[in-house]
Chains A and B, each alone.
Chain A
Amino acid sequence: MAAPTSGSSNAKPFDIVATYNDLLRSDPDLTMPIAAIEALVLLLTHSPSSTISETLDLLEKSTAHLKQSIPNPIGLSAGTDLFQRYLITTLQRPGQLGPAGDFNAIRAHLLSNGRLFIRRAKESRDKIAAFGRGFVRDGSTVLTNGGSRVVASLLQKAADEKGGPSAVRFKVIYVLSSAKRNSDEPEGMETVRALRAKGVPVSTIPESAVAYAMGKADIVIVGAEGVVENGGIVSRMGTYQIGLLAKAMGKPFYVVAESHKFVRIYPLGQYDLPIEQRVIDFKTEEDVADEAKQQKAVSTETSDAKAVNTADSADVVDFTPPHLISALITDSGVLTPSAVSEELIKIWF
């Protein structure tokens, strides 16, 4: 199978972290869980394990390693969990891939179908768009944020639906984050351009204008990095406040997410996420001076280290609790937040 890293990593030992990062970089359409699954598939290709427990053990170790080396492993762990559960469930289930059957058969299935998984993941976006286009009504104004690819595809699908530039009937308010990523423009500009090209009137506002703009919006649609067990979402910083404002103003707040983003954590609040982000960072004058000194000392390698180890300001996430969410639009239909736990229970128990 064609994989971007298979050629180079044949010689040296397989590095799952590098593979994962390469995968994410090579395909901007790839989500974190899918990249994680792909990385694990590639890992299996490179390791000649032949027994079930050996394979599971290897997976577990690499997953733990991968999670440790990535600043925000929430999205990724959805993928690795799904992969592991699939393997175990398939092995337990009666059938040709079951315990009576051949372990090599399931291995071969996973190894040979890596591309298929990616394709399905992308197809599930179209599926969501098909489910979700009913939410974008004629004459409505949609407020959205972030760089979610699912939201982008949903809105574009809705724009196509309405039959080209002449008959477009909905407007978009796009909340652009002030934090810039690698490039100069804020996340989501690409979607804004694509929508404008289709003739959809798009207005971009800063995060500080959300409350001001909410009165003009009919519905809010956001993407998610991970959907947690209680039906809440982990998403780009700023989503929580949009959710609160939408609730306060009585606007429906919809989340679009693929079902492979469901992740088995149960956060009780903002500070309960299993990741460390230094958003609130108390400092005195002294601390600031100290930091400046340190910064000078390591200025040579600072850019590298910072990118990997600490989540920079563009990557921070917050948690939107389920009571703010009207519905989740997923590839398995329109779900209420409480339906998420059931989907998760189905794969875990």
Chain B
Amino acid sequence: MPSNSVALTPGLASFLKSLKTNPIDTSIDDLISLLKRRQIRHSRSCATATAYLMRSVISATRTSDANKLIERVQYAGRRVMAAQPREMVVGNIVRRVLGLIRDEAEDDREGDFSLSEAGSESQPQTPRALDDPSEVLSYRHDGSDRSSSRQPFTSLSATPISMFSLLSHPEPETSLPGTPASASPSGRLLGHSHNKDIRAEVLDGINEIIDELGQVDDQIAAYALEHIHSNEIILTHTSSTTVQKFLLKAAAKRKFTVIHAESYPNNHEATHATISGQAPKDDDMLSTEAFQKPLIALGITVILIPDSAVFALMSRVNKVILGTHSVLANGGLVAAAGTRVIARAAKVHQTPVVVVSGVYKLSPVYPFDFDSLIEYGDVSKVIGYEDGDLVDQIDVQNPLYDYVPAELVDLYITNLGGHAPSYLYRIVSDHYRKEDINV
């Protein structure tokens, strides 16, 4: 992390620095403008910035009333999400924070109501605290563990069985905190408890999310040896840190060949840098990547090709491993432009397509309209300003992303393990609460 704050270009690093000193509303505006100007780009940087912002929002809100917290987070969340609606991780983090608050509020409420029920149905508080160190020690193992310990609402007894909602008793339904935060009966119940500091619990939860963001690539990489075997030919696309870590982990033990497709004009420089191991200077992804050895240093043969040559080479490829921008609830994904061509070519050749992605990229949003998910980038990358007179006569577009439908993907590897695309709905329902889907 560069230490001289004067020369800092606006980005994640400068934002995190200023977060400590600036008042909260300034920080929100800061992040909004960073997102709007695309000075924070990568999914993880956006997620990290959002998580830190949410932490500040909550620590700045001096109340123990869960409803006020929810309202505050919703307000801040809506604004930040509106700044860059296509950056779906921002919404994901906001939703997870809202889920955390609701969980804590519910835990409280159950504790108040009846002791017998709290014992059997809700997660008691002490074991949760004990879980955490063990989680850090062995994240290979903790996939299922982790989600269940962090999201108490995944347990079957805690969620009302939705099919029974038709027949259920009318009273419990009205007291469910699923109703909008402003509803008066639930408001009274949620705000009523004073025996525990909700804020402290939520802040702990957010810290866990931040930790998760830091570890996610290593957790995913832990699965690498199960998927990459000796002498395989792996095709990948664009420079994704997650994919690089995944390949590096396997390269430590096995010898294989990587075909790396560059994506002109948006990502080719970053791809070259990844292959040669010279990380670009401007990066706001501070930390480790800069020190990371490239694959070639580990004796892996890396072949760089333009992505127009993918189809020709696909017949020799054993496996396609792709990074992604975000993953949608139906199992489709939004990834760097050119990904769909690769996935389709792989389908034609019956080559398995594996997508590596942190759970934080998994969005509960259902893609009603695929076109609206695609972001368009700087046109000058396609046609430079020196060709300015051409621009008058032709329409130039530079889409940054592709929508890849679920049926082109064979497997998702997240930090929780490998999942079929049709199973993603389950992970979505584990991580986000239904009432938060529309923040």
Interface residues of A, Cβ cutoff 8 Å to B: 37, 82-83, 85-86, 89, 94-95, 97, 109-110, 113, 116-117, 120-121, 124, 134-135, 137, 259-260, 262, 326-327, 331-339, 342-344, 346-347
Would you call the interface of chain B mostly helix, strand, loop, or mixed? helix
Taking a contact as CB atoms under 8 Å apart, the answer to whether A346 and B117 are in contact is no
Taking a contact as CB atoms under 8 Å apart, the answer to whether B166 and A327 are in contact is no
**Is B388 among interface residues, defined by CB-CB distance under 8 A?**
no
Nearest-CB residue, chain B, relative to A136: B368
**Closest chain B CB from A132 CB (angstroms):** 10
The number of chain B residues with a CB under 8 A from chain A is 27
Taking a contact as CB atoms under 8 Å apart, the answer to whether B161 and A89 are in contact is yes
Nearest-CB residue, chain B, relative to A95: B117
- Beta-carbon contacts under 8 Å, B328-383 to A: 329-331, 366, 368-369
Q: With A259-B162, A331-B165, A343-B162 given, can you name 14 additional A-B contacts, CB distance below 8 Å?
A: A82-B163, A82-B167, A117-B167, A259-B163, A259-B165, A260-B166, A331-B162, A332-B162, A333-B437, A334-B329, A336-B331, A336-B424, A338-B425, A346-B156
**Is B37 among interface residues, defined by CB-CB distance under 8 A?**
no
Kindly list chain A residues whose C-beta atoms are within 8 Å of the C-beta of B117. Answer: 94-95
Once bound together, how far apart are the Cα atoms of A343 and B164, in whole Å? Answer: 10
24 contacts between A and B (CB under 8 A): A82-B164, A86-B168, A110-B167, A113-B170, A117-B167, A120-B165, A121-B166, A137-B368, A259-B166, A327-B330, A332-B162, A332-B165, A332-B434, A333-B437, A336-B331, A336-B422, A336-B424, A338-B422, A342-B426, A343-B162, A343-B163, A346-B163, A347-B161, A347-B163
Interface residues of B, Cβ cutoff 8 Å to A: 116-117, 120, 156, 161-170, 329-331, 366, 368-369, 422-426, 434, 437
Kindly list chain B residues whose C-beta atoms are within 8 Å of the C-beta of A327. Answer: 330, 366
Kindly list chain A residues whose C-beta atoms are within 8 Å of the C-beta of B425. Answer: 335-336, 338-339
Taking a contact as CB atoms under 8 Å apart, the answer to whether A94 and B163 are in contact is no
Those 7 A-B pairs whose CB atoms lie nearest each other, nearest first: A332-B162, A134-B368, A338-B422, A86-B167, A334-B366, A346-B161, A339-B425
Nearest-CB residue, chain B, relative to A97: B169
**Closest chain B CB from A311 CB (angstroms):** 27
Kindly list chain A residues whose C-beta atoms are within 8 Å of the C-beta of B120. Answer: 94
Once bound together, how far apart are the Cα atoms of A116 and B167, in whole Å? Answer: 8
Nearest-CB residue, chain A, relative to B162: A332
Interface centre among A135, A262, A346 (most CB of B within 10 A): A346
Nearest-CB residue, chain B, relative to A82: B163
Taking a contact as CB atoms under 8 Å apart, the answer to whether A347 and B167 are in contact is no
Once bound together, how far apart are the Cα atoms of A335 and B364, in whole Å? Answer: 11
Kindly list chain B residues whose C-beta atoms are within 8 Å of the C-beta of A336. Answer: 330-331, 422, 424-425
Kindly list chain A residues whose C-beta atoms are within 8 Å of the C-beta of B163. Answer: 82, 259-260, 262, 332, 343-344, 346-347
Interface centre among A97, A137, A337, A338 (most CB of B within 10 A): A338
Once bound together, how far apart are the Cα atoms of A156 and B84, in whole Å? Answer: 32
**Closest chain B CB from A265 CB (angstroms):** 16
**Closest chain A CB from B331 CB (angstroms):** 7
Kindly list chain B residues whose C-beta atoms are within 8 Å of the C-beta of A334. Answer: 329-330, 366
Given A94-B120, A346-B156, are A337 and B164 also a contact pair (CB < 8 Å)? no
**Closest chain B CB from A239 CB (angstroms):** 21
Once bound together, how far apart are the Cα atoms of A110 and B170, in whole Å? Answer: 11
Kindly list chain B residues whose C-beta atoms are within 8 Å of the C-beta of A86. Answer: 164, 167-168
Among the listed B164, B424, B426, B434, which residue makes an inter-chain contact with A333, where contact means beta carbons less than 8 Å apart?
Answer: B434
Kindly list chain B residues whose C-beta atoms are within 8 Å of the C-beta of A344. Answer: 163
Kindly list chain A residues whose C-beta atoms are within 8 Å of the C-beta of B422. Answer: 336-338
Once bound together, how far apart are the Cα atoms of A174 and B422, in whole Å? Answer: 30
Kindly list chain B residues whose C-beta atoms are within 8 Å of the C-beta of A335. Answer: 425
**Closest chain A CB from B85 CB (angstroms):** 14
